[in-house]
Structure 1
Amino acid sequence: MLRTLLLAAALFAFPASALAHSCPAEMAAIDAALETASLSEDDKAKVMELRARGEAEHQAGNHDASMATLGEAKALLGI
C-alpha cells in the first residue's frame, strides 16, 4: 500500500517538475523569434540582454527568476 502511494505521488510530481525547468525551451523560442523579428535595435539589444540574463539565472539554478526574465524577453518579441 505504501509503495503504491509513493509511486502515485512520484508520477504526479514528475510532470510538474518537468515543466518547472523549461528554461532551455524558452531560450530556443527566443532565439528562433529573434531571427525574423522586426524590432528596433534598442529592443533587439534589450531582448538579447534579457535572454543572456535568463540563461545565467538558469545555469545558477534560479529557474523561477530565469522564467520571469525569459518571459520579459518573449513579451518584447510578441511571442
Structure 2
Amino acid sequence: MLRSVLIALSLIAFPAAALAHSCPSLMAEIDAALPDASLSEEERARVMELRSQGEQQHQAGDHDASMTSLEEAKGILGI
C-alpha cells in the first residue's frame, strides 16, 4: 500500500519537475537566438523584458508563468 502511494506521488511530482527544468533550456534558446535576430528595437526590448521576467518567475518557483513568458519571447524571435 505504502509503495503504491509513493509511486503515485512520484508520478504526480514528475511533470512539475520536468517543467521546472525546461525553463533554463528556453532561456538558453532565447539567449542564443537574440544576437542574430532581425528585430525592431521595440521587439528586441520586449524579448529582453520577457526573458528577464521568465527568469525571475522561474527563480520564484512560478514555472507556469515562466514558461508562458519565455514562449512568448520565443514567438517574437520566431523560434
TM bracket, shorter-chain basis: 0.7 to 0.9
> Size of the alignment, in residue pairs?
78
* Corresponding position: 1:20 with 2:19: yes
TM-score, length of structure 2 as denominator length: 0.81
Q: 1: CA distance between counterparts of 2:27 and 2:67?
A: 9
Letter of the 1:36 partner, please give it.
D
Gaps of 5+ in 1: none
TM-score, length of structure 1 as denominator length: 0.81
Q: Larger deviation: 4-13 or 27-36?
A: 4-13
- Identity rate of aligned residues, in percent? 54
When the two chains are superposed, the root-mean-square deviation of aligned CA atoms in Å is 1.7
Residue 14 of structure 1: CA displacement?
A: 6.2
Gaps of 5+ in 2: none
Q: Stretches of 4+ moved more than 6 A in 1? A: none
